[in-house]
Amino acid sequence: MAVGKRTIELTKIAAAALADKLGSEIVAIDLSEQLVLNQVFLLVTGNNEPQLQALSDEVQRKLAEAGEKPARKEGSGAWILLDYTDLVVHIQSTELRNYYMLDRLWNDCPKIDLDLAKVAR
C-alpha cells in the first residue's frame, strides 16, 4: 500500500517547518510496505535541547494549522517523538541519531522527496 496523499502533504509541511528552524539531516522514510501502523518516519537532527524543543514546537504549530494534532508526544531533551498516526516525527540530538541509526535500520525502504530546496531560509 502506497503512502497516502494527505500523509505526503503533512510530511512536507513538517519537513518545511523543520528546515525553517534549521534542523539538519532531514529524511522522510516510506514505511508503507513494512509497517501496518505508520506510513512515514520523518527524521531530523538538532544541535541542542532548546533547538530540539523549537523544532518540535514548530512542527506542532504548522501541522495544527493544517488541522492535525499529534495522537501522542513522547520524550524530551535528546529525542522527541511526535506521533501523527501515519506520520511519526523523530527529532533527535546528533548523538542519539548516530547511536540509534534509524536511517540505516530502515535503509531498504524508499525515501520520500521532500523538495526542501524550495524552502527559503
What pLDDT, on a 0 to 100 scale, did the predictor assign at position 118?
Answer: 61
- Kindly provide the residue ranges of all beta strands, DSSP E only, lying in the chain, ordered along the sequence: 24-30, 40-46, 72-76, 79-83, 87-93
pLDDT at 120: 47
Q: What is residue 51's predicted lDDT score, i.e. its pLDDT?
A: 97
Domain ranges across the chain: 5-116
pLDDT for the residue 116:
87
* Cα 10 to Cα 77, 84, 86, 96, 100, distances in angstroms: 24, 9, 10, 25, 25
CATH classification number, 5-116, choose in 3.40.50.2300, 3.30.460.10, 3.40.50.720, 3.40.50.1440: 3.30.460.10
In this prediction, residue 2 carries a pLDDT of 81
Instruction: Kindly report the number of other CB atoms within 10 A of residue 69's CB atom.
Output: 10
Blockwise average pLDDT, block size 10, the chain, 121 residues: 90 98 97 80 97 97 98 94 96 97 92 79 46
